[in-house]
Structure 1
Amino acid sequence: MMNVTVENFDAEVVDASMHTPVLVDFWAPWCGPCKVIGPLLEKIETAYAGRFKLVKIDSDEQQELSQAFGIRSIPTCVLMYQGKPVDGFTGALPEGQIKEFLDKHLPAGDVLEAEVTSVEVSDAPAADDPVAIEEALHQAVLKNPDDEDARFDYIKHLLLAGRDDDGKVAFAPVIAKAAHVRKFDSLQRWMNAIDFAADRADLTGATASFDEKIALNKRDFDTRFAKAQTLMAAQNWVGAMDELLEILMRDKSWADDLARKTFIAILDIIEPPKVKVADGQIPPADPTVATYRRRLSSVILS
């Protein structure tokens, strides 16, 4: 049984899960049910003789990892394979149910049922083949985990596809870098917006409610930012940037520059990769990105 932190998460969970399923147990010292299920998991790991690896994450000490996985209660167990979450459960299940859970994903042999076939991906996957694109992006991260651009593109792909949990798992190894790597900071802001909107199932209704409050007070920046986050979570990038500009036009430094930083995060997210075309030239900037960069500069410098 291994105690995992942000520092060794990539090696002990992501890399290890490429060949052996990893069961991640989120716990805390004060949690009574955690003290019940912990010994059971260790007993089962021994009995299963290498069919899976057990690791533990102290949710209090490793809050960044807990947030990345969206942990809301403990104990919570997440089964990882091939760098991705396969399934999970919450609460101190009895030994029999834990074994049933594991047996569902650990048939005789070394691979999970989820991996029935492998995908062969060329160096240049077809633009209309999302499975091949994802595999190519994933392989790029596996080959060079320190390639920040590759990881950004992979996480962005997952989040655009609505696979928030997978995106958070892929982001977990670089959480600590978000404070000083702008692209990772941008992803963190996007995931914060997704989490903010998670409890608002009716995004259209939520937006209408925001509009009613804003109509009463144009300088209600908290509500404007909440609306921008909701639009950002729904991938309505232009709508979110328009709302952030409304804040910036009235107060450029509101909330420690929060509106500007979030605006820049959206530009980072929607900007296409800078790839060269056949003649070796970099194609012109995306018109939406170019337009909104100009609008931001105009507001900031006015």
Structure 2
Amino acid sequence: MADSPHIVQLDEQNFMQVVVEGSDTTPVLVDFWADWCAPCKSLMPILEKLAIEYNGAFILAKLDTEANPGIAQQLGIRSLPTVKLFKDRQLVNEFMGALPESEVRAFIEANIGPALPATPEETEEDTDDSQVSIAMNLFEQGQAEEARTLLQQAQAEDPENVEVLLSLGQVCISMGDLETAESCLNALPESDRTGAQGLRLAGILELAKESDASISPQTLEAELEKDPSSSENRYKLAIALALAGNIQAAMDHLLKLVQTEPGYNEGAPREKLLALFNVLGDDPLVGQYRRKLFALLH
């Protein structure tokens, strides 16, 4: 797959987010292909070239029908390649077969419009941001190692780039490389380190330092169900849930600990609640849970 933030590999996990929800804001062109399909391999480079040329005017989303047969069946794919265009959560047009570039371009122009030339300012900005965009696109597709490599290259070229440092820190935390993540945080200018994104990175890092990646949230939930009075299990579960993205459930467990054993682990439940407030930033939940915490402490 060409390295572009405007080209995405689809699977059953991200189809809804990329194609259905994503088409609310940007048209999504879905290429249904298979490795054994020779016409698919001749069409794919044309679609990738146009996606890069259009520079975000549409997203090219590629679905391997062999790896994801369920989606192909649901959408009635009968031959390959098939290309479907989605806008505002609706299928608006499609074509089948490996069309020549001129016909594919005509299809896109008819449904999306012509590609607009980038201004010099846009071209320079795209060059600056492209490596980070590509890296985070890879990260979202589960290719964390590749993302880290790209971001480390970008950091070597521009050690003080705030976006690179924040992105690299996020990727490294997900991989358990907390030392590098902390160095990224410390390398941020103070104004960025105390800003919303810096505080978010610091909050996630603080949680990750106490996580045990070898134990799943499901296992910890089962352990807590056996012994609901175990502060240790409840605390570990809160950390695991927060790092898995279920922050509200994590805060509920931490509040429970503040209520039942405020001195546990030298007041760690309260500290981790504050860290989660930083992670959430302006989310309305912060105000709600700050009031709950205040009520328990006073």
TM-score range, shorter chain: 0.3 to 0.5
Of the two, which has the highest radius of gyration?
2
TM-score, structure 1 length as denominator?
0.40
TM-score, structure 2 length as denominator?
0.40
Higher helix share: 2
